[in-house]
Structure 1
Amino acid sequence: MTAALADQARLDLPAHWPAALGPRALAGLDATTPFLAVDLATVAERYTAFTAAIPGVSTFYAMKCNSADAVLGTLAALGSGFEVASAGELRMLRELGVEASEVLYSNPIKPPAAIAEARRAGLWRFSFDSEGELHKLAQYAPGAAVYIRLRVDDSTSLFPLSRKFGAEAHEARALLLLARELGLRPYGVTFHVGSQCATTSAWRQAIAAAGRLMTALAEDGVQLEMLDLGGGFPARYVERVPSLDQIAATVNAALAELLPYRPALLAAEPGRHLVAESAVMVTTVLGREVRAGENWLYVDVGAYNGMMETQQTVQQWRFPLWTSRTDHALVPHLPFTVTGPSCDSSDTMFYGVNLPATIEVGDRLYIGSAGAYTLSYASHFNGFAPPEPVFVGGPIGAGVPAPAVPASLVPAPAVPASLTGAGVPAPGVPAQLPASLTRVAGRS
């Protein structure tokens, strides 16, 4: 990159940086760093765009990547479903008024007590990928609907997930037939192409594998009711990723061409794609030093209290960065190593990132696209508190009643009486969110 191009690159925030979280707006937020500024309007926009791009596919937000009440409430108000990985996550949703019958439990390996608790609450759809899990489900959630997780190629994702979970294609048919023998309901198939997937072809290959399984099961008299596309839908950071339109074109074509029939429910579990770009991590410079000719910047957030993904990728995870300096785009930039506040020398997030040569102690560093896997990973390591969320914008405003959920956005699936359990309410999403969520620029 020439010097002129490098200078131009510093003049503008990335196009996907929320307008409501520009440097001036962030400077006006009265909060102690580190904090995560979240624009709920961006969350709503991302959800609306996702559902429009893949028509007929129901969204079940993967809440593990950001489970702040205001985020969950915003999505629930828009008609989103939810996917959980634990009984604890299900409890959080129920406290917000989300019906357990509207939730998918997609963790393939679950504690027996969690299965029983979820079943009692009215959750009736459970993922699995092994014979052992089927026997647990038959014992603790008899008669439940089950969907198998297929192992698929996730080699083009930043975070491959296929080693820990996923049944091989040749095992899946027998496992779903075993589910039927155990009194469970063979309900569907799901997969995960890996988090932050970088190629659209991964979805086509995975849908093809699901289609082959559906064809084979039809010979056994089993017609699946759900195909779940899982997660992996990428967000924009620094590196280029496929656009939502490109992914949607591939997925829509694959669904039309590679399935023997269209299941009653097509589902997806986006997480990072919906929330990453909605937030900026705001952190203060604690120190600036030169060590062996290398510029070091010490800030009050690190891998252990919010930015763990920079460690998971061996410092190859690049986030868009900006600073509070008014001369940010006007002065020369220098390469900096940016490290966290803890006493752990490996608590370092970025290497060789260009920042204003004038940056000094007390200035703020803004880390963009920080809405996913930051709050949920944060700990109190070394006594440093996790960042607090501060919410702006969105359909939930200070003193404004939460919006009612349009009935057209909340199709109620037909749940057999045998699966709902005695005393379990009928499926649905509350028409009104709790009053505790009707605030803005506050703490969750």
Structure 2
Amino acid sequence: MTMSVPAGELGTPYLRFDLDGLDRAYRAMRDALPEARVHYAMKCNPARPILARLRELGASFEIASAAELGELRAIGVPAAEVLFSNPVKVPAHVRQAWTAGVYRFAVDSDAELDKIASAAPGAAVYVRLATTAGGSAVPSEGKFGVGPGAAARLLRGARARGLRAYGITFHVGSQMTDPGAWADAIERCAAVMTGLRRTGIRLAMLDVGGGFPARYDSDVPDLRTYAKHIRTAIDRHVPYPVELVVEPGRALVAQAGVMVATVIGVARRGGARWAHLDVGAFNGFMEALETRTALRYPVCDSRDSPRRDSFHLTGPTCDSQDTVRYSVPLSADLAVGDRVYLQVAGAYTTAYASRFNGFDPPGLRFVCSAGAP
């Protein structure tokens, strides 16, 4: 039996990130879609060792701000390889990115076209198409995107403003478990491409976005299944060859991370057992709050006792919403000072973490487990 250690002496919480696990995830993506250029969505986890390893593996990157671009330039990523996919950008960020060498910018409005024409004259733009797909565990659509007619109009408007009508993109929603979700969006993109070709505009890029899932507490389809659906839709509908781009985030980093936490309190309330951890929704697991705990992280503990009991795992703050998971089977003798390991935690944990209520965000520790399953 593992002995308890007083809370505060373990240096928790921290995210233990396996860089070799990142290698495996990246290679799985490349093997599934070798014809696609991988642009990592760095918002998912912008830690510099992760960016550097992906750079070594041959990845490109997608950003939403000038600060993210600064991180990439610090490790030698050429700005020309970066996609600025945030459809609504800070004007000063557009100027900084353009000056640095970024030349491709996403848009979904006339105001954004005007902004780019002013701050980045002659730049290439790609329009964000709205999607109708549902079924993602972390819905992310609705804020951005336009219909096919508006997309075509914006790309024609880009040319009228002296910009290059470069491509079209979409996002089906984060943690999308339906591989068929891409098909409708690709067909709609193809219709825009066909219509534009009649007016003399030929696009160079089809960016099918991210949304590829990680395996949390249940199975998800293999990446090759997603690739088959994407490839079939392109072969069936896209009217001419274009550069294919994907923007994975979660699928590359989630399973490489384990959040190591310490139990700071145990209690029985209303017939339920609660384990209070030194990490919670506000300092690491905001997606638990976003999804009302529907995103279920696999969990185990340092005691690993054969006798089990059900626990609600909650965070250290005094906010009643600060809960990560409900009804998790853990060691029945779980006690203050024990460690709890929340797996598949490499995505959106340290990136989202705040100091709400004065609790520190998790640290980061990098390991290499070459050959590990």
Which TM class, normalised by the smaller chain length? Answer: over 0.9
Unaligned runs of 5+ in 1: 1-22, 24-29, 396-444
Deviation at 1:239, TM superposition (A): 2.8
Question: Which of residues 318, 330, 335 in structure 2 aligns to 1:343?
Answer: 318
1:385 and 2:360 are equivalent in the alignment? yes
Q: Which amino acid aligns with 1:371?
A: G
Q: Per-residue displacement from partner, 1:5-41 (whole Å, max 9, x unpaired)?
A: xxxxxxxxxxxxxxxxxx9xxxxxx961101000000
1:297 matched to which residue of 2? 275
- What's the Cα RMSD here? 1.3
CA–CA distance in 1 between the matches of 2:182 and 2:304?
Answer: 44
CA–CA distance in 1 between the matches of 2:43 and 2:241?
Answer: 29
1:323 and 2:298 are equivalent in the alignment? no
Deviation at 1:256, TM superposition (A): 1.4
Question: Which of residues 191, 207, 222 in structure 2 aligns to 1:212?
Answer: 191
1:169 and 2:148 are equivalent in the alignment? yes
SS at match of 2:309: strand
1:11 matched to which residue of 2? none
Give TM-score scaled by structure 2 length: 0.95
1:258 matched to which residue of 2? 237
Deviation at 1:326, TM superposition (A): 4.0
CA–CA distance in 1 between the matches of 2:324 and 2:135?
Answer: 23
1:241 and 2:220 are equivalent in the alignment? yes
Unaligned runs of 5+ in 2: 3-8
Q: Which amino acid aligns with 2:128?
A: R
CA–CA distance in 2 between the matches of 1:324 and 1:299?
Answer: 13
- Contact map agreement 2:284 2:350 (CA 8 A) in 1: yes
1:285 matched to which residue of 2? 263
Question: Which of residues 202, 210, 213 in structure 2 aligns to 1:231?
Answer: 210
CA–CA distance in 2 between the matches of 1:160 and 1:288?
Answer: 33
CA–CA distance in 2 between the matches of 1:76 and 1:384?
Answer: 33
Question: Which of residues 264, 268, 273 in structure 1 aligns to 2:246?
Answer: 268
Residues 394/288 of structure 1: CA separation in 2 closer, same or farther (3 Å cut): closer
CA–CA distance in 1 between the matches of 2:214 and 2:73?
Answer: 28
Q: Which amino acid aligns with 1:276?
A: A
- Contact map agreement 2:137 2:294 (CA 8 A) in 1: no
Question: Which of residues 114, 129, 133 in structure 2 aligns to 1:135?
Answer: 114
CA–CA distance in 1 between the matches of 2:346 and 2:295?
Answer: 14
> Which runs of structure 2 are paired with 1:62-77 in the superposition (5 Å)?
62-77=41-56
1:371 and 2:346 are equivalent in the alignment? yes
2:161 matched to which residue of 1? 182
Q: Which amino acid aligns with 1:280?
A: V
Q: Per-residue displacement from partner, 1:40-68 (whole Å, max 9, x unpaired)?
A: 00101110110111121000000000000
Q: Per-residue displacement from partner, 1:146-181 (whole Å, max 9, x unpaired)?
A: 000100123111222221000111211111001000
The runs of at least 4 consecutive aligned structure 1 residues that moved more than 3 Å come to none
Give TM-score scaled by structure 1 length: 0.80
Moved more, 224-233 or 356-365: 356-365
1:150 and 2:113 are equivalent in the alignment? no
1:356 matched to which residue of 2? 331
CA–CA distance in 1 between the matches of 2:138 and 2:200?
Answer: 37
Q: Per-residue displacement from partner, 1:257-310 (whole Å, max 9, x unpaired)?
A: 1110111x2110000000000010000111111112111111100111101100
CA–CA distance in 2 between the matches of 1:162 and 1:382?
Answer: 30
Question: Which of residues 314, 324, 340 in structure 1 aligns to 2:292?
Answer: 314
Q: Per-residue displacement from partner, 1:216-274 (whole Å, max 9, x unpaired)?
A: 111011110000010000110013322112111111211211110111x2110000000
- Contact map agreement 1:154 1:161 (CA 8 A) in 2: no
- Contact map agreement 1:154 1:160 (CA 8 A) in 2: no
